[in-house]
């Protein structure tokens, strides 16, 4: 009986121990699962913040520009005059395209053949098609081809420099002075070869409107020969940013000891076009700084700016016409008219690139009173739209009717009529 009791007691203890261990295991598993579920971090969450302002840039001078309007969206000392190296060749290419034909024969001078590296290796007396040299200019930034092009289009390097500077002013550049067609550091009695990041952005903005320029700038590889066919060349596009990001329209690098690394490019995404211009963006061994700064500026622009319509229906109100008269008017009656603004459906859908929180201001710029006579359709003023205090668009306001000037004859006739009737 004692033995059976002992065995039964041991069996009960064993069962109890199993129950306890099982309960502990179940609790531990449940607790661990619950804690794991509570603290599990989703794998697809992007924790990288997008700044409302670009991170610190390496470049001494930088500009991010709206390629459509030319408005500067961000700048770092953007109007500081600096050497700009081979980014000069963007304007060299455009001036050549606008003043010469692609199948022009270009003869190489000793001056062109003797230019320093980077060079194609032109020889005095050789002839090339202008179009082929433009690929050499833009893809590999050859200094000798730049001079050959300049001498062909401008008669001399000095003559071509005058063409470059004249074109820069036409584009809207405020502080650009080019001496060489290849951007090599130079100085004359008028100053040093230079531009600003803002001016350089304006030049690229203008250039990408030229379809031939775009085709050249986007070409990865190009092969050509001098006219006799004795020598053949292959050039590869040195604009590495073409392969770093989709949507690059054009770009040009540059480097001299004075300029440092420079870069200008145009990029398009979802209808938005941005121009980035960088001057003094590092010196050896910091060749990649320009790519870092370009990415920062493009990401800032793409994240913060969107197109929005800005048309607002104006309320022009009534305009007092002094010394005016209308049929049936009593003496002393004030005469008013309204302005009329003609807009189309296209006008109402116009868009402007705006940063989050920015607004376009609509101002009715018409006088409160005008003097008679007023003719129907006569311009009275305008409806103007401003962004950051700068005029971006306007629509004329015209008189909706004519108002004659009151005269002595009208007075006498009015008095006579009222007295006898």
Question: Is 141 designated active site?
Answer: yes
The 3-state DSSP class for residue 45 equals coil
How far does CA 401 lie from the centroid of its chain?
43
Residue 238 exposed, middle or buried by CB count within 10 Å (0-12, 13-18, 19+) = middle
Question: Is 234 designated active site?
Answer: no
The 3-state DSSP class for residue 352 equals strand
Residues 165 and 176 sit within 8 Å (Cβ to Cβ): yes
Question: Quick count: other Cβ atoms within 10 Å of Cβ 86?
Answer: 26
How far does CA 421 lie from the centroid of its chain?
72
Return d(Cα 257, Cα 96) in angstroms, integer: 27
Out of 61, 76, 86, 252, which one is annotated catalytic? 86
Whole-Å CA distances, 128 to 31, 78, 98, 158 = 80, 38, 18, 21
Out of 141, 167, 198, 296, which one is annotated catalytic? 141
Question: Is 114 designated active site?
Answer: no
CA-nearest of 239, 162, 168, 161 to 201 is 168
Out of 89, 119, 167, 198, which one is annotated catalytic? 89
In the sheet where 72-76 sits, what is the strand order?
72-76, 61-66, 272-279, 260-269, 248-256
Active site residues: 86, 89, 141
């Amino acid at each position: 009986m004692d033995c059976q009791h002992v065995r039964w007691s041991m069996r009960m203890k064993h069962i109890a121990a199993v129950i306890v261990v099982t309960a502990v295991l179940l609790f531990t598993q449940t607790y661990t699962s619950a804690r794991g579920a509570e603290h599990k971090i989703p794998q697809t969450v992007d924790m990288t913040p997008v700044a409302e302002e670009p991170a610190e840039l390496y470049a001494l001078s930088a500009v991010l520009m709206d390629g459509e309007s030319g408005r500067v969206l961000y700048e770092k000392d953007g109007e500081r005059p600096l050497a700009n190296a081979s980014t000069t060749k963007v304007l060299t290419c455009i001036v050549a395209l606008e003043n010469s034909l692609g199948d022009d024969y270009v003869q190489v001078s000793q001056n062109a053949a003797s230019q320093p590296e980077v060079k194609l290796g032109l020889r005095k007396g050789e002839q090339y098609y202008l179009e082929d040299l433009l690929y050499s200019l833009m893809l590999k930034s050859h200094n000798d081809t730049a001079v050959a092009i300049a001498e062909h289009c401008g008669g001399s390097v000095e003559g071509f420099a005058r063409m470059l500077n004249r074109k820069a002013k036409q584009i809207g550049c405020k502080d650009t002075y080019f001496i060489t067609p290849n951007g090599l550091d130079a100085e004359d009695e008028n100053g040093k070869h230079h531009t600003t990041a803002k001016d350089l952005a304006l030049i690229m903005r203008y250039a990408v409107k030229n379809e031939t320029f775009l085709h050249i700038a986007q070409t990865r590889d190009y092969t050509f020969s001098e006219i006799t066919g004795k020598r053949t060349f292959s050039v590869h596009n040195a604009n590495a940013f073409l392969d770093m990001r989709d949507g690059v329209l054009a770009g040009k690098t540059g480097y001299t000891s004075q300029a440092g690394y420079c870069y200008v490019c145009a990029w398009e995404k979802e209808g938005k076009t941005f121009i980035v211009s960088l001057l003094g963006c590092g010196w050896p061994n910091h060749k990649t700084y320009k790519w870092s700064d370009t990415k920062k500026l493009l990401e800032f622009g793409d994240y913060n700016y969107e197109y929005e319509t800005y048309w607002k229906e104006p309320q022009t109100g009534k305009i007092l016409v002094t010394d005016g008269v209308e049929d049936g008017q009593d003496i002393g009656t004030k005469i008013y008219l309204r302005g009329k603004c003609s807009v189309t459906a296209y006008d109402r859908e116009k868009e402007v690139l705006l940063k989050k929180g920015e607004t376009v201001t609509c101002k009715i710029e018409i006088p409160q009173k005008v003097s008679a006579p007023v003719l129907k359709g006569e311009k009275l003023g305008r409806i103007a739209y401003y962004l950051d205090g700068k005029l971006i668009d306007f629509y004329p306001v015209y008189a909706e009717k004519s108002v004659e000037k009151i005269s002595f004859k009208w007075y006498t006739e009015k008095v006579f009529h009222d007295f006898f009737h």
